[in-house]
Structure 1
Amino acid sequence: MNKSLLLTGALALGLSLPTLAQNASATKYAETITAGDLTKHLTYLASDEMKGRDTGSEEQKIAAQYISDFYNKLGLKGPVNGSYLQKVDLVSSSFGEVELKVGKNKLVNNEDFVFVGDGDMKKAAKADLVFLGLVSDENLAKVDVKGKLVGIWAVGLRSNDLVAKVMDAGAAGIVIVTMEGQANFDRIANRYKTLAGRGRVGFPQEVEQRPMFMVSSDKMGELFNTPVEELKEAAKSNPESIKSQKASYKIEKNVEPIESSNILAFLEGTDKKDEIVVISSHYDHVGVSSTGEVFNGADDDGSGTVSVMEIAEAFATAAKDGNGPRRSILFLNVTGEEKGLLGSEYYSEHPIFPLENTIVDFNIDMVGRIDYEYQDSTNTDFVYVIGSDMLSTDLKKILEYNNITYSNLILDYRYDAEDDPNRFYYRSDHYNFAKHNIPIAFFFNGVHDDYHQVTDTVDKIEFPLMEKRARLIFYTAWDVANRENKIRVDGTNTRGTR
C-alpha cells in the first residue's frame, strides 16, 4: 500500500495519525513479545496433561490458575472484587437417546443426522415430514407446516432466523440441510460422534421442545425419494410438489451444572482511564474424545491466549517504566467459545466495566498457523482481519498504519465480506462486543487440516510468525490506547444476529 495515499486518506477523513517514524517506546515493549515466551506458555497450556482444557473441567481450572498467576506476577489488577475470575454458571445437556425414523428408514445419530435442537420426551412422537425448501412467505403459504416435521434447505443462509420462522408457524420440528455434499456433512458428524456423551454446554434454561435434525443434502434427497438437484429446484418455488413422508422421533435429555470462569486482568490508564480497550481470546477448548484422544487446541485458541498474555506483559512492563497507556486495558480470556461464544456473551451481559466506556475489542482466535490459502505461497507473513471497519473506519486505518510502520504483514480481508460463506465473523468472541456497537478487529490465520482435530498440537505452531502477529496487535492497541482522540463509531452494525 502506498504510504502517502494512506496518510492523505486519513487526513481527509479527519483521522489524526502520527508520522511514519516508529515510536521508540512502542518498539521497545513490543520486543518483549518473543517466540520463546509464546512457546513456553503454549507448550504448557496445550500439553496432553491439560487434557484439552474442556469447559468446566479440572484442567480448565488449572489453566485459569496458570493464566491468573501470570497476570498477578505482572502486577495487573483482578477487577472482579479483587479476583481475576468472573464466574460463569453453565449446564451440560446430554441427549441419551435421540431417534429419527422416516418411513421404514431408521436413521443413525451422528451418522445419518446430527441433533442440533432441544427437547425432552417420555415417548416417541409421530408426524408427517413435509418439504418446505427455502423459508419464504410464498413457500409457507403453499405447505402446511403445523404439527409437522419440516424439511428446510438453508445452504449458505443464516439458519437461526429461518428455524424460528418455521417454528413460529407451528412446526413440530425441523430437518435441515445447511451444506451440500456428503463429505462436508461427514466432517461435522464425525466430530459430534467423537464428542458423543460429553454433553452440550450452555446457559441454564427451560427445555424447549424444538427437535432439529441436521442432515446432508444427499440424505435429504433420500428421505424424500427425490434426486438432490430436483429437490433443490423444488425448494425455490414449488415445494408442494415433493411428497410428504411418515416420520417418528424421540429425544431424552439430561442436564448437569457446570462451573466455569472468564479471566480478567486490568491495567488502569492514566488521563483517559475511563475509556477501556479490550484484548480478548478464548482459553478453553473441547477436552478429549470418547476414545481418550486429547484435543490440545494449540492453535485454537491456545495461540490467541498466549498472545494476549504476552501483549499484557508488554503493556505491564511499559507501565512499570512509567509509560503506562492513557486509556485502560482489559485483558480478557473467555470461556465456552467452542460451545457457542458463551463466556463473551456472559461478559457482554454482565460487564465489569460499562460497555458504553468500552471503545474497542481486539479479538485473537487462531494466530499460530498457515492455512490452506497460503500454504504454498512464497510469502506466508499474513493475517486475516475481520470486521475492522464495520463500526469504525478509524480502526482499519490505524491498523494499516501500524502494519506499514512496524510489521509489514499481508493484511488479508477476504473473510470480511458480509456474504462470506464461512461466516467467520459470527464464530468468535468479538461478535458479542460488535452486537453492542463496539468496534472490533478479529485476527485469524484461517483453517487447516488440524482445525478442530486432535492433531492441533504445539509442534505445528509457527512461533516466529505468531510473534509478528502478536506484535502487530500490540502496536495497534498501543496506538488506540494512547492517541488523543478515541476512535469514532461512524459505522453501522449490518451483520445482524448469528
Structure 2
Amino acid sequence: MRLLVPLCMLALVAGCTHDSGDAAVGFHFDEQRYRNDIKTLSSDAFEGRAPTTHGEQMTLDYLVAAFKSIGMQPGPDGSYLQKVPMVSYSASEQQQITLAGMPLQYRKDIILNSHHDVKQVDIKNAPLVFVGYGINAPEYGWNDYQGLDMHGKIALILVNDPGFANPESGKFDGKAMTYYGRWTYKYEEASRQGALGAIIIHQTAAASYPWSVVEHSWTGPQQDLAVANEQSRIAVEGWMTLESAKAVFAKAGLTLDTELSRAAHEPMQLPLAQTASIKFTNSASYGESYNVIANLPGTMSADEHILFTGHWDHLGKDNSLEGDKIFNGAMDNASGVAGMLAIARQFIAAAKAGHGLKRSVTFVVTTGEEQGLLGSRYYAEHPLYPLKHTIGVFNLDSTNIYGRTKDFTIVGKGKSELELYLAAAVNQQQRQVKSELHPESGGYFRSDHFSFAKYGVPAVFAGSGNEPIDAATAKYKAQMQQRMKSCYHNTCDEYQADWDLSGALQDLAVYYRAATMLGDSNAYPGYYEGTEFHALRPATHIKL
C-alpha cells in the first residue's frame, strides 16, 4: 500500500524524528496553541457559547479567523458559515402542574416544555398512560403502543430500553443502549402515536446522568430547528423525578418497581386511571445560528470528502443562579473544537509541503448540539457536499484531560469499517482499541456523528482510553476526576491550567493518521451486517 510513504513524509514535515508512544506520536501538535484555543473559547467572555447569543458571534468570529489564518478554504458558496434557522421556545418557570391530583414543583419534581409557537399551554385532566419504554421496534418484536390510541393522553415513559434493565434476556442489545433508548426517540415516537404529551421518568443509572443535568439542560430557552414540523409534535414534553413517579403510581394503586420489572420483560400499556393538568405560559422567538465550514480540497478526488465534526456550542448562562452563572463548556466542547483546529493545521502543513491528500478534508463545527444535535442534523439534511460522496465522519467531543493511556476507546465499537483506520493508527502508537466502559449510556447516539450515521455515512466517536500509562498518571487522573466530578453540563466545566493534555494529543494524532490513510485511498467504508445502518451503506470488506 502507498499509505506508508505519505505517513512517513507527513511525519517528517511535522518535525518528527522517530515514531514512538510519545504524546503526539510522530506529529508535533503545538500543545500551548491547543491550550490557548481551549482557554479562549471557554472563557467568561464567550458567555457559555449559547446559539443566537453574543457568545455565538464571538465564537464564529474566532473560528472563522482561525481557519482563515490556518489556510483552510471556505465552503462551496464562498462562505465559512452555513446558516441554520432556529427557534427558541421559552416555558415559564411558574408552572401549575398536577399529576394524579398531586401538585408537582417545577425543577424539583418535574420539568416541562412545549416546542410549539403558542402563548399558553393549558391541559385539563388528560389521562395518564404508562407505556413502558415507549418503543415501537418491529425488528426487535417490540411495540409498547400496539393497538393503543394515545390521542388526548400523556405518556409516562422510562428512559433507556429493555436491554438495559434485563441484559440477560437477549432483548435489544443488552446493556448497550440502542437508539430506542434515547430521549429524542421517546418524544419522536410519542408524537407519531398522536399523544398529547410525553414525560420521561428519570433514573440516574439508566439515563447515565443525574437529575441536575436534566435541570440545567431542559430549563431556560429550548432551541430547535425552525424548519421542524411542530404541528406533528406532542404539545408538552419533559422529565419527572423517580420519586415523583413513584408517588403518581402509588396514587393509582400501583408500585412503580413492580411495573419497572414488567416493562423490562414485555411491552407495556397501562392506563393509570389518573390525569394530568398542566398550565404555563410559553413563547417562541426565531433567529439564525451557524455551522462553521472549512475545507481543504483534495489533489485528485476533490469531490470526495472526509468530515471532521465537533460542536462549538454550550449552555450559555443562567442568570437565575447564585454565584457563577456561566456554563463555560471547556471540556464540552471547547476541547474538541481546539482539537479540530490543531488537526487542520497539520493537514495544511502537509499540503504546503506537497503532501496533500487525494480526497478533500472538510471541518464542520456545529451549532446546537446540546439542544439535540441541531447543527449536524441540519447539515445532514442540507449537505454542502453530497452525502453519497462523504466517505466518513470523525467526531471530536470532549477530549482527554486525564493524561496518556494504554488504550483507545471507540464508542459503539463494531459498527463500521471506518474503525479499521482508527485501529491502524492506534496500533502505531502501541495502544489497544477497546469498547466504551458503559455502552448503556448510548454514547453513539449522543453526539454529532449520529446525524450522519442515520443517513448511512460511516461515522465514529472515539478517544480517551481508560488505562493510564503509568502510576503517576493514574494518581493524577484520580485527583482530577475528583475535581471535575459533577462538572458535566455544569458551571465548573472550566479550563484548568494543570490539565494533562498529553493524552488528548495522542488521540488527535490517531484521528489525523486515520483520516490521512482514508484520504489517500480509494476505499468506501460501510456499516457491518447486523448494525442499524448496514442497509444504507453496506461494508465493502476493506482490509488494511
For the superposition of Structure 1 and Structure 2, which TM-score range results when normalised by the shorter chain? Answer: 0.7 to 0.9
SS state of the match for residue 176, structure 1?
A: strand
2:372 is aligned, of 340, 344, 366, to: 340
1:105 is aligned, of 102, 105, 108, to: 102
Instruction: Tell me how far 1:259 sits from its aligned partner.
Output: 1.8
Matches within 5 A, 1:320-339: 320-339=352-371
2:362 matched to 1:357? no
Matches within 5 A, 1:90-489: 90-96=86-92, 97-115=94-112, 118-119=115-116, 120=118, 121=120, 123-135=122-134, 145-156=150-161, 157-161=181-185, 163=187, 165-166=189-190, 168-179=192-203, 185-192=210-217, 196-205=219-228, 206-207=230-231, 208-225=233-250, 226-233=254-261, 235=263, 243-290=272-319, 291=321, 293-370=325-402, 380-387=405-412, 389-392=414-417, 395-405=418-428, 407-414=429-436, 420-445=439-464, 449=485, 450-459=487-496, 461-483=499-521, 485-489=522-526
Contact 1:391 1:492 in 2 (8 A): no
Q: Aligned partners of 1:138 and 1:189: how far apart in 2? A: 27
Comparing 426-435 with 201-210, greater Cα deviation is found at 201-210
- TM-score, normalising length: structure 2: 0.76
Comparing 109-118 with 281-290, greater Cα deviation is found at 109-118
Match of 1:77 in 2: 73
Runs (5+) with no aligned partner, structure 2: 15-25, 137-141, 162-180, 466-480, 534-544
Comparing 254-263 with 71-80, greater Cα deviation is found at 71-80
Instruction: Tell me how far 1:456 sits from its aligned partner.
Output: 1.3
Instruction: Tell me how far 1:317 sits from its aligned partner.
Output: 1.3
Contact 1:202 1:340 in 2 (8 A): no
Match of 2:178 in 1: none
Runs (5+) with no aligned partner, structure 1: 1-15
Post-superposition Cα deviations, 1:319-346, rounded to whole Å, max 9, x if no partner, equal 1121111111112211111111111111
SS state of the match for residue 314, structure 2?
A: coil
User: Could you say if the C-alpha distance between residues 27 and 56 of structure 1 is closer, same or farther in structure 2, counting changes exceeding 3 Å?
Assistant: farther
Letter in 2 for 1:127: A
Post-superposition Cα deviations, 1:26-57, rounded to whole Å, max 9, x if no partner, equal 35336341211101221211111111111121
User: Could you say if the C-alpha distance between residues 164 and 278 of structure 1 is closer, same or farther in structure 2, counting changes exceeding 3 Å?
Assistant: closer
User: Could you say if the C-alpha distance between residues 180 and 365 of structure 1 is closer, same or farther in structure 2, counting changes exceeding 3 Å?
Assistant: closer
Instruction: Tell me how far 1:169 sits from its aligned partner.
Output: 4.8
Q: Aligned partners of 1:390 and 1:88: how far apart in 2? A: 29
Match of 2:35 in 1: 39
Instruction: Tell me how far 1:116 sits from its aligned partner.
Output: 5.1
Instruction: Tell me how far 1:490 sits from its aligned partner.
Output: 5.5
User: Could you say if the C-alpha distance between residues 457 and 224 of structure 1 is closer, same or farther in structure 2, counting changes exceeding 3 Å?
Assistant: same
Letter in 1 for 2:288: E
**Identity over aligned pairs, percent:** 25
Matches within 5 A, 1:14-93: 23-26=8-11, 28-29=13-14, 31-93=27-89
Contact 1:262 1:335 in 2 (8 A): yes
Post-superposition Cα deviations, 1:365-407, rounded to whole Å, max 9, x if no partner, equal 111323xxxx9xxx73544222565232xx32322222222x3
Q: Aligned partners of 2:269 and 2:390: how far apart in 1? A: 51
User: Could you say if the C-alpha distance between residues 174 and 339 of structure 1 is closer, same or farther in structure 2, counting changes exceeding 3 Å?
Assistant: closer
Q: Aligned partners of 2:121 and 2:376: how far apart in 1? A: 35
Match of 1:494 in 2: 531
**Residue-pair matches, total:** 466
Q: Aligned partners of 1:148 and 1:330: how far apart in 2? A: 46
Letter in 2 for 1:198: P
Letter in 2 for 1:295: F
Contact 2:82 2:291 in 1 (8 A): yes
Instruction: Tell me how far 1:196 sits from its aligned partner.
Output: 3.7
Letter in 1 for 2:354: G
SS state of the match for residue 347, structure 1?
A: helix
User: Could you say if the C-alpha distance between residues 118 and 41 of structure 1 is closer, same or farther in structure 2, counting changes exceeding 3 Å?
Assistant: closer
Q: Aligned partners of 1:184 and 1:264: how far apart in 2? A: 32
Letter in 1 for 2:200: I
Match of 1:9 in 2: none
Comparing 19-28 with 281-290, greater Cα deviation is found at 19-28
Post-superposition Cα deviations, 1:255-307, rounded to whole Å, max 9, x if no partner, equal 11222111111111112222111112111211112335221111111111111
Q: Aligned partners of 1:486 and 1:138: how far apart in 2? A: 39
Q: Aligned partners of 1:198 and 1:142: how far apart in 2? A: 36
Contact 2:143 2:267 in 1 (8 A): no
User: Could you say if the C-alpha distance between residues 159 and 71 of structure 1 is closer, same or farther in structure 2, counting changes exceeding 3 Å?
Assistant: closer
